[in-house]
Structure 1
């Protein structure tokens, strides 16, 4: 089963009697807010014509059931998939902070050991520089040309040679996550990170993923304004709080939800 499909199945079992209150599709990020007030974000891939789209089908997104939007996760239409992941993150936010989650930066939650090689898929420059300052070897790959980043085609080989994998959650949007996790099978630590990360540890059970590092939206009004004006995470960071959660805490997180009854 694809990781997108697994995330959809897990979210379907949450309380989805919720509807979309508003969406904001910016140049860099997409945001979705539910009628409950909970909001989520995901990276915005460029809008390209790839068949039917929930965004441009002529119907208003406002008022639609969240589950309807979530089903576009993994769609060939990457703009739809981005909106779906933002909606997933809003639904997860409505569930509260995952049990066992730690507030703070990802490098405070994981242990990168001296002598290890870190592969970063998606170039998070601040994280990369902090790891480099510790004298640890880090190799970054990215779809875009960025300083110090190798081509995305090298990701599979580098992941197989690394002990720690830091993988951008945007790989969920464009459906490259399954291939990347296959390559990271023998890594000691595998982290999905970035503002797009769905903090649903149960969805990553029985995968190489050990930790999820994402955000919760605390100030949706300001965040929507920033995203609508084309701002990225460096600008809307003050509107959020960072959290990391171990995948091993997945069952505890859903102890009081329908998932706990499986």
Structure 2
């Protein structure tokens, strides 16, 4: 599984660092490690339930070796998985690297004849795509009645016919990414997007992924405050930098 490979990559890089802070916010989860390295992951707040969202180790995470929580990324408990992936991203998404920056909206090209697929609705991207092609499939787990969205169970039918595909990085947290990318083998461009994205070409290049559009945390103290106060993607912008990694 992709998540197992990401875990292995992070464990090989963590170098014994300890957990300095953990914030499980309504929008995102953040983990800070020694050296002020921060990673983010989406919080599936509607899938935590009344019990499984309660951590029996709460209050004991600070000072724990990071290699103890990185493997949580493969847990079925959505909160543990978010904490685990945030720890993975704290290790891998190094703000000290010389990343290419920019917005994914400008990173791929669509022709009128192309078919565009999106797994997880990103409205800003859709607003750019709609004038470029009429052949659009947007898949979501929960589709409101009367919506133009396609339910996730139609992915095997329609995604193999898409030329350009954008996939939310939250698919790493809910462990659907392996199945989704298996239907993208005919695509010329496959992008993983969102602040939860691990910037790890060593793993993703094996799966026909061509572009990673994620974030690095530039202001750790600010991001901890924003996450704790229920901030989402837009609120986090002053504390992060959008990164584009072409594979």
| TM-score when normalising by structure 1 | 0.86
Structure 2 unpaired stretches of 5+: none
* Secondary structure in structure 1 of the residue aligned to 2:192: strand
Aligned equivalents of 2:74 and 2:14: distance in 1?
21
Aligned equivalents of 2:79 and 2:26: distance in 1?
11
Aligned equivalents of 1:58 and 1:123: distance in 2?
32
Matched length: 242
Aligned equivalents of 2:132 and 2:236: distance in 1?
28
Residue 132 of structure 1 is aligned with which of 115, 130, 133?
130
* Secondary structure in structure 2 of the residue aligned to 1:119: strand
Shift of 1:150: 2.1
* Secondary structure in structure 2 of the residue aligned to 1:13: helix
Are residue 43 (structure 1) and residue 42 (structure 2) matched?
A: yes
Q: Is the 8 A contact 2:222 2:239 kept in 1?
A: yes
Q: Is the 8 A contact 2:14 2:66 kept in 1?
A: no
Q: Is the 8 A contact 1:128 1:138 kept in 2?
A: no
* Secondary structure in structure 1 of the residue aligned to 2:73: coil
Aligned equivalents of 1:127 and 1:234: distance in 2?
14
Q: Which residue of 1 aligns with 2:24?
A: 25
Q: Which residue of 2 aligns with 1:204?
A: 204
Aligned equivalents of 1:88 and 1:23: distance in 2?
13
Q: Which residue of 2 aligns with 1:234?
A: 234
* Secondary structure in structure 2 of the residue aligned to 1:5: helix
Shift of 1:50: 5.1
Shift of 1:5: 0.6
Q: Is the 8 A contact 1:16 1:66 kept in 2?
A: no
Shift of 1:156: 2.4
**Which residues of 2 match residues 25-174 of structure 1 at below 5 A?**
25-46=24-45, 47-48=48-49, 49=51, 55-57=55-57, 60-94=60-94, 96-97=96-97, 101-145=99-143, 148-174=148-174
Shift of 1:58: 5.2
Shift of 1:232: 0.7
Aligned equivalents of 2:31 and 2:135: distance in 1?
37
1:190–1:92 Cα change, 3 Å: same
Q: Is the 8 A contact 2:111 2:132 kept in 1?
A: no
* Secondary structure in structure 2 of the residue aligned to 1:197: coil
**Which residues of 2 match residues 217-256 of structure 1 at below 5 A?**
217-247=217-247
Aligned equivalents of 1:223 and 1:156: distance in 2?
37
Shift of 1:221: 1.7
Q: Is the 8 A contact 1:30 1:83 kept in 2?
A: yes
Worse-superposed segment, 221-230 or 147-156: 147-156
| TM-score when normalising by structure 2 | 0.91
1:14–1:33 Cα change, 3 Å: same
Q: Which residue of 2 aligns with 1:178?
A: 178
Offset from partner CA, 1:131-188 (integer Å, 9 cap, x none): 1133453221112447642222222222111011100000010110110011112211
Worse-superposed segment, 163-172 or 238-247: 238-247
